[in-house]
Amino acid sequence: MNNLLTAIENGNLLLDISGNNISEIFEHVVDHMVEAGSIPAATRGTVLSELLGQEHVANSAVGNSVAIPHVYIDKLDKSLVYFVRLAHPLNLGAADGIATRFMFFLLGPEKGGSEHLNTLARVASLMADEEFRYQLGKCKSKQGFLLAIEQFDLRHPTQIPSEAPSEPSNEGLEFTRRFCGGLRDDIARRLPYYWSDFTDGFDLKCVGSTLFLFFACLAPAVLFGGLMADVTGNQIGVVEMILASAVCGVIYELCSGQPLIILGGTGPLLVFTAILYVQCERLEIEFLSTYAWVGIWSSILLLLITMFDGSFLMRYFTRFTDEIFAALISIIFIVEAVKSVVNIFHDPETTTLAEPFLAIILAWGTYSVAMYLSRLRKSDYLRPQLRQILADFGPAIALIVMSLIAVSLKDDVPTQDFLSAPATFGTTSGRAWLVDLWSAPMWVRFMSIIPAILVTVLVYLDQNITARLVNSPDHHLQKGVAYHLDLGIVAILMAGCSFFGLPWLVAATVRSLNHVRSLATVEEEVDINGHSHERVIHVRENRLTGVLIHLAIGLILFLMLDMLHLVPKSTLYGLFLFMGIVSMTGNQFFARTSLWIRDPSFYPSTHYIRRVPNKVIHIFTAFQLLCLTILWVVKVSALGILFPLFIALLVPLRALAGRFIKDEYLHALDSDEGPEEESSHYSV
């Protein structure tokens, strides 16, 4: 460890050198060592030939984007450690398929190899950490390198062997036994990062994320707002949904503990609101005042849950539950996108087949362009920076291009596909903004607590499960969690929305995961079977993107309401499809489902496939699929109002799996992340 620190402090590093092959890189590095006086000029040829000879015998690329070239000859009188960062990664044939960008050169006399053993162990430990590699790729000098090492040590303090490491998934979910204990801990955990949450947003990647999420959040707001208007007799509609998204979104991003979460309308809340409206019509009571009382009671219950650390119950939810819930939300997005396009064929206002076919072209075009550009970062065409920019801005580019095509064809193909919105700002039905709470009968004011309990369960689960997915160890977030604080803020916003007859908003799973994905720096891995996949190495955690996204949505209502008429609905359906499919990425449930139709000899070498028999994997996946099917059936049935209770039942169902699957197999399939050795293995 000291050898590495000493080398960096002495300036033994070379940043962002260019080369088309390993020979050019080695020549450049050795020449620099000679010029810096690190090795004698007389040894240049010998060192270079030995390095190239070693490279031909054994590949120095050991994985995780690092190579360790080494040479030991008696012409060198002292051991030397030298760090080199390439301007552009080179494919040097590492076993994990990741292109090499970082090199640690180890040089010395014949007997000097033993001095580098600790350095090798330190390098292996450092480079297995995705956040360290990200920081190493951004540092500008030796101070940046040393700071990255210091922050690594803070993230991975030396543990006493007798102490069992804490479960990462339970961070922030402890039952403190103190009044507002969890809430106070959340604030203390996140407050030190508050300023950096804004400064970290000044990055080009955040600009692409803002543009993408603006459309990705506007599309569901418009679609769910339209559906809300249909099921509530226009008492809550598009304008109310957009206004709630903008105001609540900005407040949440400024005050929350996890600003990567995006609030929005969700399918389950839409279903509940529709059922509540029908019941109000049947009982001949006013809907909005009843809706407001239900929201107020739910807000009170959620605040009580927050004060008494109620979110700690989420520690009993595992990957089993998270995967099913995330899969359900992804499928809802995909199904709604396809259903919306198909419905155009049955629209009585559709006069020719040209209109629905144009809608299909626009929807599929939006999806295809967005998907192609998002995958461009893995291409070998164009420069890396340009590929990254096009990938980050891909969804926004796709929507703009398809909207321009639709506008240019407007005269040739008459269509009703464009968004509709009121000409001026106001409620959808023309009602007053403030709901008259006292117009509800006294019995309604108190009996509203019954449906409020169901809403509370739904919001509690939706908010916390989405937070768990966002805070997944796979995303390598560094600033901490805040389950209690975030739930409390959602409760307060819910009460505010109830007073004004605005839709209730909660953490939106697909939008939140797409927010994380759009801010992530990823690297591509290739397994032993040649299958490539991406993994996140860093997420630019910030509040600025969320604030700007929701401010832009708010500006739509006051400055650009008429511009909504230029956006075809079908492009939003295409964006829905894109978001639904992209959110499937990283969901282990879908990966295991695909094993049913794959040749077992080509299964990926994951930790659970190595440790669990194939038959057991298929049984576990089939059990998850059965639970997902039941949730879907309940959601679309007359029992839709009980949907949140069925989500909660996933916890005891997970316990039931232990009756027919051994604990060791169940742990491998249901663990929050792969075993340590899977992500940090080195063949040094």
Mean of the per-residue pLDDT values of the chain = 83
* Lowest pLDDT segment from 35-44, 213-222, 447-456: 213-222
Please give the average per-residue pLDDT across 505-523, as a whole number: 86
Residue 674 has a pLDDT of 44
Could you give the angle at the alpha carbon of 420 between the alpha carbons of 415 and 421, nearest 5°?
A: 160
pLDDT digits (tens, 9 = 90+) for 229-248: 878 888 998 889 999 999 99
Alpha-carbon span 169 to 165, nearest angstrom: 12
Alpha-carbon span 419 to 207, nearest angstrom: 25
Alpha-carbon span 462 to 269, nearest angstrom: 10
Please give the average per-residue pLDDT across 176-203, as a whole number: 91
pLDDT at 159 over 80: no
% of residues, the chain, pLDDT over 70: 90
Query: Could you tell me which residue, 673 or 52, shows the higher pLDDT?
Result: 52
Give the residue from 294, 275, 272 showing the smallest Cα distance to 283.
275
pLDDT at 188 over 80: yes
Residue length, the chain? 684
pLDDT digits (tens, 9 = 90+) for 99-135: 888 999 988 887 766 677 778 888 888 888 888 888 8
Question: DSSP H helical segments within 315-413, as ranges?
Answer: 319-345, 354-374, 384-392, 394-408
pLDDT at 669 over 70: yes
pLDDT digits (tens, 9 = 90+) for 472-507: 888 888 898 999 999 999 999 999 999 999 999 999
Q: Show Cβ contacts of residue 235 under 8 Å, excluding neighbours closer than 6 positions.
A: 277, 287, 288, 428, 429, 431, 501
Long-range contacts of 144-151 (CB under 8 A, 24+ apart): 145/8, 145/13, 145/83, 146/5, 146/8, 146/9, 149/5, 149/8
Run of H or E residues at 185 = helix 181-190
Residue 185 has a pLDDT of 93
pLDDT digits (tens, 9 = 90+) for 316-328: 888 888 888 888 8
Burial class (CB in 10 A: 0-12, 13-18, 19+), 113: middle
Q: Show Cβ contacts of residue 348 under 8 Å, excluding neighbours closer than 6 positions.
A: none
pLDDT at 300 over 90: yes
Q: Provide the b/e sequence for 321-360 (b: ≥16 CB within 10 Å).
A: bbbbbbbbbbbbbbbbbeebbeebeeeeebeeeebbebbb
pLDDT at 399 over 60: yes
pLDDT digits (tens, 9 = 90+) for 624-641: 999 999 988 887 777 766
Give the residue from 188, 300, 166, 280 showing the smallest Cα distance to 233.
280
pLDDT at 44 over 80: yes
Give the residue from 678, 679, 667, 675 showing the smallest Cα distance to 318.
667
112 phi/psi in degrees, rounded to 5: -90, -5
pLDDT at 526 over 70: no
Is residue 253 within 8 Å of 543, Cβ to Cβ?
Answer: yes
Run of H or E residues at 624 = helix 614-636
pLDDT at 530 over 60: no
* Lowest pLDDT segment from 58-72, 162-176, 330-344, 451-465: 162-176
Residues 523, 261, 550, 427: is their CA dihedral positive or negative?
Answer: positive
Question: DSSP H helical segments within 14-129, as ranges?
Answer: 22-35, 44-57, 117-127
Bridge partners for 102 per DSSP: 66, 85
Tokens 């994951």 belong to residue: 606
* Lowest pLDDT segment from 75-79, 203-207, 382-386: 382-386
pLDDT at 617 over 80: yes
CB atoms within 10 A of CB 399: 29
Give the residue from 642, 666, 633 showing the smallest Cα distance to 272.
642
pLDDT at 426 over 50: yes
* Lowest pLDDT segment from 47-56, 141-150, 236-245, 420-429: 420-429
Bridge partners for 674 per DSSP: none
Residue 129 has a pLDDT of 82
Residue 531 has a pLDDT of 54
Burial class (CB in 10 A: 0-12, 13-18, 19+), 305: buried
pLDDT at 165 over 50: no
Token digits of residue 287: 């809907």
Alpha-carbon span 247 to 651, nearest angstrom: 34
Residue 113 has a pLDDT of 65
Token digits of residue 189: 């955990």
CB atoms within 10 A of CB 417: 24
* Lowest pLDDT segment from 168-177, 239-248, 656-665: 168-177
Q: Are strands 61-63 and 80-90 parallel, antiparallel or unpaired?
A: unpaired
Please give the average per-residue pLDDT across 179-187, as a whole number: 92
Burial class (CB in 10 A: 0-12, 13-18, 19+), 673: middle
pLDDT digits (tens, 9 = 90+) for 589-600: 988 898 898 888
Token digits of residue 56: 């031909």
Residue 532 has a pLDDT of 57
Is residue 304 within 8 Å of 460, Cβ to Cβ?
Answer: no
Fold assignment, 2-155: Mannitol-specific EII; Chain A (3.40.930)
Token digits of residue 165: 């490491």
Alpha-carbon span 522 to 536, nearest angstrom: 4
Q: Show Cβ contacts of residue 182 under 8 Å, excluding neighbours closer than 6 positions.
A: 172, 174, 175, 176, 306, 309, 311, 312, 483, 484
Residue 135 has a pLDDT of 86
Query: Could you tell me which residue, 516 or 275, shows the higher pLDDT?
Result: 516
The HSE-up count of residue 273 (CA atoms within 13 Å, CB side) is 31
The domain spans of the chain are 2-155, 181-418+433-680
Please give the average per-residue pLDDT across 28-36, as a whole number: 89
